[in-house]
Amino acid sequence: MQYLLLVLILAGLAYAVWRLTRTVGTRPQTRMIGPDDDPDFLRRIGNPDTDPR
């Protein structure tokens, strides 16, 4: 009975470590800033007087 409990605990730890290593490896890369995230771009659109055209 003790061996079965030990095996279950070790299997649970192995599963937890496996899941943690998978989530660290698949982290999203840094987000690319698009025009809608750029405050200067939004300021230029909102104020046509400063438009260089």
Is 15 inside any structural domain?
yes
22: domain range? Answer: 1-27
pLDDT in tens, 3-35: 999 999 999 999 999 988 876 656 666 766 666
Residue 34: what are its φ and ψ, rounded to 5°? -95, 175
Q: Are 17 and 9 in contact (CB under 8 A)?
A: no
Higher-scoring residue by pLDDT: 15, 43: 15
Q: Are 44 and 51 in contact (CB under 8 A)?
A: yes
What is the C-alpha to C-alpha distance for residues 22 and 6, in angstroms, rounded to an integer?
Answer: 24
Instruction: Identify the pLDDT of residue 41.
Output: 73
Number of structural domains found in the chain = 1
Is 35 inside any structural domain?
no
What is the C-alpha to C-alpha distance for residues 36 and 49, in angstroms, rounded to an integer?
Answer: 20
Is 49 inside any structural domain?
no
pTM, 2 dp: 0.45
Is 16 inside any structural domain?
yes
